[in-house]
Amino acid sequence: MLRLNEIKLPLNHAEHELKDAILARLGIPAEALLNFIVHKRSYDARKKASIVLIYSVDLETTDDAGVLARNQRDVHLMPAPDMEYKFVAQGVNVRGQQPRPVVIGMGPCGLFAALILAQMGLKPIILERGKTVRERTKDTFGFWRKRELNPESNVQFGEGGAGTFSDGKLYSQIKDPRHLGRKVLTEFVKAGAPEEILYVSKPHIGTFRLVKMVEAMREEIMALGGEIRFEQRVTDFDIEEKNGVRQLRGLQLASGERIATNHVVLAIGHSSRDTFQTLYDRGVYVEAKPFSIGFRVEHPQSLIDVCRFGPNAGHPILGAADYKLVHHAKNGRAVYSFCMCPGGTVVAAASEPGRVVTNGMSQYSRAERNANSAIVVSISPEDYPGHPLAGIEFQRRLEEAAFKLGGENYNAPGQLMGDFVAGRPSTEFGAVIPSYKPGVHLTDLATILPDFATEALREAFPAFDKQVRGYFKHDAVLTGLETRTSSPIRIKRRDDDLQSLNTRGLFPAGEGAGYAGGILSAGVDGIKVAEAVALSMAAADKL
Ligand code: FAD
């Protein structure tokens, strides 16, 4: 099997042109090409009127070695890498002498940790504080419609984790030499995701499909002997200390039950603030880490499409256009776009009463009228010094201020972009109607943001107009606040066995522990940590 990269064809090429291009590049007749599949398809839209598709294909010929030898000069031709996932251990704990491993949290990290453990025959127990994805959907949509927040069942908590009501973007910039991202995508396809996520350069799934996929993965884990328990909040960690070594021995649940275990995957996401506090109180090593704050910005999707794709706007292969923006402000802060949701909606993402948090989601079709993206400013522990958990208090203060400014009824405070930059409150929407439910209350967002953030954001919007023409639009709507961009803490782990720096048996993982940022990277981290658990249990088997 060979891989051939950088096959460039016009956007509207006919189907046979791809095969023709492969034959021409390899200099072989049609009968010598046995088969090929598209490994990746991306596009180059720098010239809007003549957008180019770029393919990478895996192919088989009647003489791969000969083709490779004759095309030595083509740096884009190579043997196809083996991307199949291989388990690191099998047959571990078969006699059940060790307690079962436990996974806390059923977001993408916990889901993949549990799946891999189950596929390795380790029969994990999964504890999730929220409800099943169907029940959770009702609670979350109920909050958006009726302003009734359930602190245990919402955008952040419940089966599927934080990314369930999302755009379902499935790409990441992590280094992935073992192709673990491929394993994540392959499992998603098995669970019902469209096959195209395996080859398009920026795959996404959208909310409704994610719900069904999460259910399918739950079924597989259970069929393999895993046990999934919903509405089971972990409230404490039993840590035994002997000769200076701290070893996790069990977990306490809100129900009063205790579960004995020596191996726990801690995949609790970035919003489990009560659990962060408990971990800190129990002496688990945590430290403050940088994150970002800002707001969601909504433009008409058509403006972004035309700006990015010109006359090709609306082309089905291109879909709704996205953007990626960065501005380095004079005050030293980086302002950047984050979690862009083309053709999507802004959502209420709070998990604590009396606080307002924004985020974004979309459906697979990305057909809603507005493009939204978080525009955020980087902040670091120097902005909230003192305590490892001080970032959480910083977030809480901002979220409370947003709740008050929005009218204390879960409306989010909002402002027109032109007014924000000019420093005056907004009173009336223009052509852009915000999508956030329950509603947006127009006001002056600068009154609740730290001055450095306001300053950097005011500078960034006009600068972004140079990158996306039309971006600095007077009536684009800003809705705030976006505070949960990533975890405000890192629960540090050792590089070699992925266990907590000072607590053996505890495997901090995913976004909450500071080791992932997004669905794909959280899934990949879940796989890595499941492997580390399996290896640790295999070692204990031998003792
Ligand atoms: P989480 O998904 O947060 O899961 C943690 C789970 O642990 C939760 O289900 C929680 O209920 C459970 N839990 C917490 N504490 C306890 C406890 N004490 N006991 C038991 N259970 C507990 N990323 C992308 O890549 N693409 C996107 O398009 C995208 N869109 C997003 C849209 C929204 C609205 C949001 C909120 C996030 C989005 N993200 C997106 C980010 C992505 O969802 C997260 O990076 C990802 O979910 C992190 O995975 P995780 O498994 O580490 O944590």
First-to-last alpha carbon distance for the chain, in angstroms, is 43
Confidence (pLDDT) at 207: 82
Q: Atom 30, ligand 1: which residue's CA is nearest?
A: 166
Q: With bands split at pLDDT 50, 70 and 90, how would you rate the model's confidence at 372?
A: very high
Stretch (H or E) spanning 416: strand 412-416
What percentage of the chain carries pLDDT values higher than 90? 95
* Least confident stretch, 68-82, 140-154, 202-216: 202-216
Looking at residues 67-74, what average pLDDT do you find? 97
Structure token pair of residue 504: 């053996």
Looking at residues 322-332, what average pLDDT do you find? 97
Is 206's pLDDT higher than 90?
no
Is 543's pLDDT higher than 80?
no
How many angstroms is it from 28 CA to the middle of ligand 1? 49
Q: With bands split at pLDDT 50, 70 and 90, how would you rate the model's confidence at 376?
A: very high
How many angstroms is it from 425 CA to the middle of ligand 1? 34
- For 391-421, write each residue's pLDDT tens digit: 999 999 999 999 999 999 999 999 999 999 9
What percentage of the chain carries pLDDT values higher than 70? 100
The verdict on the CB of residue 374 being under 6 Å from ligand 1 is no
The verdict on the CB of residue 349 being under 6 Å from ligand 1 is yes
Rounded Cα–Cα distance for residues 266 and 504 (Å): 12
The verdict on the CB of residue 525 being under 6 Å from ligand 1 is no
Looking at residues 430-437, what average pLDDT do you find? 97
* ipTM of the complex model: 0.99
Q: With bands split at pLDDT 50, 70 and 90, how would you rate the model's confidence at 386?
A: confident
Domains contained in the chain, CATH given: 2-79 (3.30.70.2700), 102-287+490-542 (3.50.50.60), 290-482 (no CATH)
Confidence (pLDDT) at 168: 84
* Ligand 1 pocket test, candidate residues 511, 520, 521, 528, most atoms within 8 A of CB: 511
Looking at residues 216-230, what average pLDDT do you find? 98
Q: With bands split at pLDDT 50, 70 and 90, how would you rate the model's confidence at 533?
A: very high
How many angstroms is it from 510 CA to the middle of ligand 1? 9
436: nearest Cα among 408, 414, 404, 405? 414
Confidence (pLDDT) at 209: 87
Q: What 3-state DSSP class applies to 288?
A: strand
Looking at residues 82-90, what average pLDDT do you find? 95
* Least confident stretch, 49-63, 164-178, 333-347, 369-383: 164-178
Looking at residues 168-196, what average pLDDT do you find? 94
Which atom of ligand 1 lies at the shortest distance from residue 168's CA?
28
- What totals of helices (H) and strands (E) does the chain contain, helices first? 12, 23
The verdict on the CB of residue 104 being under 6 Å from ligand 1 is yes
- For 111-161, write each residue's pLDDT tens digit: 999 999 999 999 999 999 999 999 999 999 999 999 999 999 999 999 999
Which atom of ligand 1 lies at the shortest distance from residue 172's CA?
25
Which atom of ligand 1 lies at the shortest distance from residue 163's CA?
43
Tracing tokens 């895993």 back to the chain, one arrives at 226
Which atom of ligand 1 lies at the shortest distance from residue 235's CA?
18
Rounded Cα–Cα distance for residues 130 and 143 (Å): 15
How many angstroms is it from 479 CA to the middle of ligand 1? 21
The verdict on the CB of residue 139 being under 6 Å from ligand 1 is no
Mean pLDDT score of the chain: 96
Q: With bands split at pLDDT 50, 70 and 90, how would you rate the model's confidence at 46?
A: very high
Confidence (pLDDT) at 531: 98
Confidence (pLDDT) at 167: 85
512: nearest Cα among 363, 387, 389? 389
Instruction: Write phi, then psi, for 294 (nearest 5 degrees).
Output: 170, -140
The verdict on the CB of residue 410 being under 6 Å from ligand 1 is no
Per-residue exposure over 399-431, b if at least 16 CB sit within 10 Å of its own CB, e if not: bebbbebbeeebbbbbbbbbbbbeeeebeeeee
- For 463-516, write each residue's pLDDT tens digit: 999 999 999 999 999 999 999 999 999 999 999 999 999 999 999 999 999 999
